[in-house]
Chains A and B, each alone.
Chain A
């Protein structure tokens, strides 16, 4: 599981997708594609972005939900806690 999280995060496009979902949660594939193109100048194919979303979903970082007849993507930060569980950030003790 942890390996999947690190692999999922090891890609700038996937990190941008998480940035965009973190700033506005619940987006369709169409909206994610247009946002990556207009805000970040990324001209990936819809299939490529769909595959990136698949990796993020596999890692548990993106959840999908059907509303009506459309599918929406949500950011799920919960798996990120695994990082600080494994390497806790020590409380700074200022002298």
Chain B
């Protein structure tokens, strides 16, 4: 199967998933039985005014018609308006995406750089001291509430030691942000050689990234270990040992055969960590999509919540697609699937 055919087939399979995603986000508000009309109409509205607003919002139609209207709007990129920001939700989301991606990719990237080698090393000597310590640490990492970790870090590194900035935003208020190129302060400052901005952006980034890295490393350690253990007990590795291949080559064989499942897991992990990232953004007032979404949830801005949940689901779909394509390209066996 050529890459082109595979690509087309995979894209076609996504369509029902997208419909499902739009349906779930649509239902999100309806299960609550929340009444957006009351909020829009205000406490002094008359019964007629209520009805008018209901009709305006399409709430007097049957559910499936409402869904069709909603889906049609989403397809055109109309996610409604946020009553918190008084702007189209789509605009709010688009301008915050890069800000969040920057945090997410650094955090998960560093988490993977820690987690993968630790997991592999633990698997090579199951029940050895390294394995036991890394297992306890990973279970512990699983159990730390992200937001609490962020708060403790702020206390230690800002209040006690004074090493870190106070954890408000992505750059110091005294420094003017770099000119807009990509949306990432770090990259933009680098591209425009704006060193004060780069320094400030970097120092603001350290704590949230470390937080996310710690929390994302835990599951990566656990799963990398499990995957490598599985490969280690596979026929191929047992045969490699029976053929007297040197330990170095056996190790390489294990690493290569673990690569695809580990990559798949880390990719999945990226999508799962979006929730954790949102909490970190909330604590550090990061100003990205995550903080926007949590604010919307807390304050009851449900149009924005819908847009937020929808964009996270779309992000997952895109990541899963990328993983599938990469796996197809690097796996000799992929043609069989």
Chains A and B are bound partners: no
- Interface residues, chain A, CB within 8 Å of chain B? none
